Structure 1
């Protein structure tokens, strides 16, 4: 097991190893990152995810490393066989970074790859999609919250580069009780962020012409719908937990000048990047169906950020 993770810039800090970690939401929280207002709501403080014995996830890490190694070898072989397929080389570098993050390396033997561009790309996409789904499942299964967070970010990275958020139906967040106090706190923080997201996307949509910028308008509408649904899911979950869901603020700070598609796109990208970090925090702080739902939300937000011009990241949200 790796002894430590890279520092998480601005938002989340992992303290300690995968086996027993504390996740800290910094004062520069997701909402402040997006809206840039000192008056925006946010809940900061330490959250201690599940802390099992250090070797509780050893078998899971070994299995995931083997999958990363196999797919990484395929990506590297594809990049060599089809030099013009730049995405293969990019994915090979991502897999090298992910293997190193888990304390390993890509050691699987290179498979034979056809030089036919379309066929080799199709084979790579299929393998990458399978690995993405494996990482999602592993994030749901992990005993350690911080390991779950890292695995979910890895799945999101693959989605950003090539394969999208996933073909399987997203996990549901049932209105059920039983969340621990730290999980409830994280759910409240996430709800506060979603209140802000719904407000801001409403403003962005109002500044965008369906006829003048149809693609942007469609993307904003899709994002608004997704965040509104998550807000409603979070409220129902917290009510089932017996908690009083944090209320939306009367208003949220937005840039004064949203008169151009570029300005609107920039704000939407920042919003999704912040949402990715918020859901990484929720992944680390929850278990069971709440974590499964948070993993899918993290992947979706990371992929959606690229819709608005975001650059792929090797560990989105961290």
Structure 2
């Protein structure tokens, strides 16, 4: 791999790390504003993002880069005032993380591409786990046609 390719990979890693820092900040807020099973799922997501953050820091350091430190605060699109908004924010966070890893999929290093693809899958899975409605079995496929209502039998129609 060229020096330029390695530098590009480090920059992509740094962007993914920045997304993980932002997700950790927001999940911390969500954890403080939720309870019950939702809080347990948010806590699990927080732990998963913390592990990803640590892995990204290790990748950056191993490539001679300096990992970015988290900002003191991050702007959130809204503050959740209830469970529905907490879920909406969690789904939004996972979309942002997925987008950051999408860029990393174009890394020069094949191991980083694989890591990024798996991280994207995890973000999508977390996103769907937060949403109350489950995805279609085959997303993108048209919905099956509903059968026409059954004709009344001769006994029902009085004939």
Fold shared per TM-score above 0.5 = yes
| Equivalent in the alignment of 2:101 | 279
| Equivalent in the alignment of 2:46 | 224
| Equivalent in the alignment of 1:243 | 65
1:73-222 to 2 correspondences below 5 Å: 180-209=6-35, 214-222=36-44
Runs of at least 4 residues off by over 6 Å: none
Give me the TM-score of the superposition, normalised by structure 2: 0.76
Distance in structure 2 (CA, Å) of the matches to 1:236 and 1:285: 16
Distance in structure 1 (CA, Å) of the matches to 2:128 and 2:56: 25
* TM-aligned CA deviation for residue 255 of structure 1: 4.9
Q: Given the superposition, is the C-alpha separation of residues 189 and 311 from structure 1 closer, same or farther in structure 2, using an over 3 Å criterion?
A: farther
Give me the TM-score of the superposition, normalised by structure 1: 0.39
Q: Given the superposition, is the C-alpha separation of residues 256 and 288 from structure 1 closer, same or farther in structure 2, using an over 3 Å criterion?
A: closer
* TM-aligned CA deviation for residue 229 of structure 1: 0.5
Distance in structure 2 (CA, Å) of the matches to 1:257 and 1:191: 23
Distance in structure 1 (CA, Å) of the matches to 2:58 and 2:18: 14
Partner secondary structure for residue 204 of structure 1: helix
* TM-aligned CA deviation for residue 286 of structure 1: 4.0
Say whether residues 1:288 and 2:128 are aligned partners. Answer: no
Report which of the two structures shows the higher radius of gyration computed on alpha carbons.
2
Contiguous gaps of at least 5 residues in structure 1: 1-49, 51-178
Contiguous gaps of at least 5 residues in structure 2: 141-159
Deviations 1:254-283 (A, max 9, x none): 255422001111000011112122211111
Name the one with the larger helix percent. Answer: 2
Distance in structure 1 (CA, Å) of the matches to 2:117 and 2:78: 33
* TM-aligned CA deviation for residue 311 of structure 1: 7.0
CA contact (8 A) 2:6 2:63 kept: no
